Homo-oligomer: A and B are copies of this chain.
Amino acid sequence: MKKFINHVDDFLAESLSGFAAAHQDLVTLHFDPNFVCRAQKSVQKVALISGGGSGHEPLHTGYIGHGMLDAACPGHVFTSPTPDQMLAAAEAVESGKGILFIVKNYAGDVMNFEMAAEMLPYEHATVLISDDVAVVNSTYTTGRRGVAGTLIVEKVVGSFAETGADLATCKVLGDKVNSRTASMGVALTSCTVPAAGRPTFDINETELEMGVGIHGEPGRRREAMRSVDEIVADLVAAIWHDLQPVAGSKILLLINGFGATPLMELYVIYNAAAKLLQQHGLIISRSLVGNYITALDMAGASITVCLLDDEILQYWDAPVHTPALRWGK
């Protein structure tokens, strides 16, 4: 493992310090417990707090600011944060209209946020993100994972909250966006968790991992490497099967890199996905291509489709001013 690192124990703190220093106009960092919040506390709005294991940057800290989150709680690499972080973050950002937790659906995240919620002295609600269609839902499981769709929920609900909407309505919108969003990813290489010091999984030059998670968790199946058109066809088919969109639907198409995939390749994926979706009668109204929800140094990418409606589109387009997403301001 070669990484830009001093000591593995200081990695997270140094990274957060660098992040906060580089974006001090937008965010403020607190240690012990660790959380990052807006540099300027907002007034009288529902406060959006998210968090999760680190290693998915810019998610979540990069999405703190006007039109998105009020605070984020970074855990250790790929490890859910602890309830004291959420409590301290809530204390810092609550502004009279309650707290909305945005939580990716992983046992760890769910339980830690749940324990925080139980201790929270404020009105609160939770939107659970479960956009990953890699794993078919079944009655046995705890539901699907939350992946790149998180960005869309944070943006749309974040901008809605800026209008002064109340907690319950924010949650309704968040749940709606989640239910209209489907993602699936593919990995060409594994990521390496610094503290582990070796790749999470082994994969050779002729294989890919279809339906991989954003922590390097295995996906649907290990398959033979093939052309991007074929890979994209599989990803789009799974998404299509889940969303069952009607022809003429407007969509947001997000091609998300996992950290080590060049932008040139992400645009090749976009090209293939957009063509396919258009051939099937969908209208690509909005697009986003880049490293938005990563898995450290994993080579791979995910495709996310969100079925737009006027409300989602309106709040997607609204101004946003965060370290990693910015427009209209």
What is the interface of chain A, defined by CB distance below 8 A to chain B?
Answer: 1-7, 11-12, 14-19, 21-23, 54-55, 57-58, 62, 77, 188-189, 205, 208, 225, 227-229, 231, 255, 259-272, 274, 284, 287-289, 291, 294, 296-297, 299, 301, 326-329
Contacts and interface: CB of A to CB of B under 8 A. Distances in A.
Contact of A205 (B2, B22, B58, B326): B2
Given A2-B188, A291-B291, A268 B228 contact: no
A291 B291 CA distance: 9
Contact of A297 (B5, B14, B231, B261): B261
Contact of A261 (B1, B4, B7, B62): B4
Given A22-B287, A270-B22, A271-B15, A6 B229 contact: yes
A294 B264 CA distance: 10
Contacts of A264: 11-12, 15, 54-55, 57, 77, 296
Most chain B Cβ neighbours within 10 Å, of A11, A23, A228: A228
Most chain B Cβ neighbours within 10 Å, of A255, A265, A328: A265
Contacts of A299: 2, 260, 297
A22 B261 CA distance: 17
A271 B205 contact: no
Nearest to A208: B2
Nearest to A269: B4
13 contacts: A4-B265, A4-B269, A5-B265, A5-B268, A14-B272, A21-B274, A21-B287, A55-B264, A57-B262, A57-B264, A262-B297, A263-B291, A291-B291
Contact of A271 (B1, B14, B55, B57): B14
Contacts of A261: 4, 297
Given A18-B271, A21-B270, A58-B263, 16 more contacts: A2-B188, A3-B188, A4-B261, A4-B266, A14-B271, A15-B264, A15-B268, A18-B268, A21-B284, A21-B287, A22-B267, A22-B274, A22-B289, A77-B264, A260-B299, A263-B294
Contacts of A3: 188, 265
B268 A227 contact: no
A269 B2 contact: no
Contacts of A296: 262, 264
Contacts of A266: 4, 18
Nearest to A328: B329
Contacts of A265: 3-5, 15
A265 to B, nearest CB: 4
A251 to B, nearest CB: 13
Contact of A263 (B1, B57, B225, B227): B57
Closest 3 CB pairs of A and B: A18-B271, A18-B267, A260-B260
B291 A225 contact: no
A260 B5 contact: no
Most chain B Cβ neighbours within 10 Å, of A18, A23, A262, A269: A262
Most chain B Cβ neighbours within 10 Å, of A205, A270, A294, A299: A270
